[in-house]
Structure 1
Amino acid sequence: MDIDVVLPCLDEEAALPWVLGRMPDGFRPLVVDNGSTDRSAEIAAALGARVVHEPLRGFGAACHAGLLAATAPIVCFMDADASLDPRQLPRVAGPVLAGEADLVLGRRMPRPRSAWPAHARMGNAVLAARLRRRAGVPLRDLGPMRACRRTEALALDLADRRSGYPLEMVLRAAAARWRVRETEVDYLPRAGRSKVTGTLRGTVLAVRDMRRVMAEAAG
């Protein structure tokens, strides 16, 4: 069974050759260009990826555009910045394929530890703890590598188009009584500078988006 892999992309021309070159057999890359000013879209297409253009800026906007464009029964999401190894996608998609889980997240294990800045790890840990208490899901990381079934994900009717999208997915999945689990994946030094975790400001904005999503879900 083929699996579509949604890769939100903003100026990732340096990382895409490595990422697309390590895509496992049966995993079809779907690069969502979110307004890149470099040659990301051109490089992705030349390397055999399907390219979708999403003009609305935002991580959630890019992810959702990919979900809408996907056609495979199972969809994976992962960053396009080389911080995650596509060869580990089968360990995330496997439980969904086997019918053992409905949503699987890759719990990031930094290799080396400096690959994940302390401010980003701390923000993620706080949100994950709140998520465990509120939604009852056994997660220690809101990891960007994840897998689920496409039609079920569309039925969640996700609304956030910014950094709160990954959290909203988990919250709505938990409310729908999905079986949510995580499995360890390597987290590597990314190519270039992160738009979110590479700066304190980016992390603060992402945490703010996620807190807003959490508050909306509670209300």
Structure 2
Amino acid sequence: MTADERGGIRERKRAATRNAVVIAATRLFLERGVSGTSVDDIAAAAGIARRTFFLHFPAKEDVLFHYLEGHVRRAVAALDDLPEGAAGGAGHGAAGVRAVMAVLVDLFEDPRARTDELAALRAELVTAARGLPPSLVVRLQRAQSELVDALRGKFPDPAGWPVMSAHLGACMGAAAAAAVAVERPEQRAAAIRDAVDRASTGFERDPGA
């Protein structure tokens, strides 16, 4: 067996274990709530040791955002699908921000992604804690930085980077606020989409017009 084959097996095992953790935690969170579920409970339900849990998530609350890295990868990939010439267009990369946010919102709405399954618990967590736990703040900041780096790669003119970063931050902040504020699940995706559209206002004008 080659080193690449061994590496592939390790990655598949790691992915399978992570998925088992997500499935177990999701079931327990929905049954007991986040506060009523411990890391030991999740580890036992997933059939793993406690220490193995922490190889995948720094805290139980992070499982609420288990989809984040995969969604970011999908959003970054969407930049490759922009039409030729978009990188040279007006609006300081507005087309790129729009493309990224469209993927993130679509994935949130897609039942196959199961992003919305724990949305109510995320809102409850934020309300109870009056903000996000530190570990989640770090993960969200890392996700936004990855998106900014990808946008800068697609739109390499540094003059447009400040506005482009502000545009992305405004959209992501609006999406997060809308997701927490809406109580009825069937209205959440539409509210997020509307919030992102409103946050984009003013960023998509040609600055030279």
More strand by share: 1
> Is the TM value for this pair above 0.5?
no
Which one has more relative contact order, counting CA pairs under 8 Å at least 6 apart?
1
More helix by share: 2
Which structure would you say has the larger Rg? 2
TM-score, normalised to structure 1, is 0.27
